[in-house]
Amino acid sequence: MPITKSFKRRSGFRDATLLVIATEGERTEQIYFGELKTQFHKPSVHIEVLKRSEPGSSPRHVLRELEKFKKEYHLQKDDQLWMVIDRDRWTEQTLSDVAGQCIQKGFFLAVSNPCFELWLLLHITDLPKFEGKPSCKHLESLLREKLGSYNKNNPDTAGLTPHIADAISRARALDSDSAARWPQDLGTRVHLLIEKIIE
């Protein structure tokens, strides 16, 4: 059995709950959660956003990042490991397999349908009426329109986080089937993770 090491929590707060976040996106989500880590600096919660250790962005790759972390570190009872992924191009079977493994391993899953940009958009506006489900490109275009600019590889998320309560409220309103393992229609479950961070 491999020997695990204790994770170094913020100095002076050894009892802090650890929230480990593994994301599908290499840039947007990393920058956003890094900003949250700075703005919501609390002694009771330690946020750790995992850097990608291998190429590939499929849900199975993200799952492996959490598995590696769990094997390497001794975790406390209240610690949580979260997967943040997009619905967009992945099949129902892929998502079903990953969701099943998350349940089996005790991981938490936050899927955005179609993509993480929906969560960002909910900080600043109610969604317009769409003809069918919008594409990720469409949501990126709306972000550019509302923010004046939006660069997926280097997004400026500092102006979004002050409106996080609005994003949570809008995401909840969109979640018409909370019993489903991920939003089957337009929606995002990122708010479930954010509530853990800021509660």
**pLDDT 10s digits, 34-55:** 999 888 878 888 899 998 766 6
Contact indicator for 35, 42 with CB cutoff of 8 Å:
no
Residue 32: count of CB within 10 angstroms of its CB = 24
**pLDDT 10s digits, 147-177:** 999 998 888 888 898 999 999 999 999 998 8
Give the CATH number, domain containing residue 61.
Answer: 3.40.50
pLDDT for the residue numbered 199: 77
**pLDDT 10s digits, 129-154:** 888 889 999 999 999 999 999 998 88
Compute the radius of gyration of the chain from its Cα atoms: 17
- Give the H or E element holding residue 92: helix 92-105
pTM of the model: 0.90
Look at the chain and report how many structural domains it folds into.
1
* Cα first-last separation, the chain: 36
Residue 118 has pLDDT above 90, yes or no: yes
Instruction: For residue 20, give its domain range.
Output: 5-198
Supply 44's token pair.
């009771």
pLDDT for the residue numbered 11: 45
Largest pairwise CA distance in the chain: 54
Cα angle value 187/191/193 (rounded, 5°): 130
Residue 3 has pLDDT above 80, yes or no: no
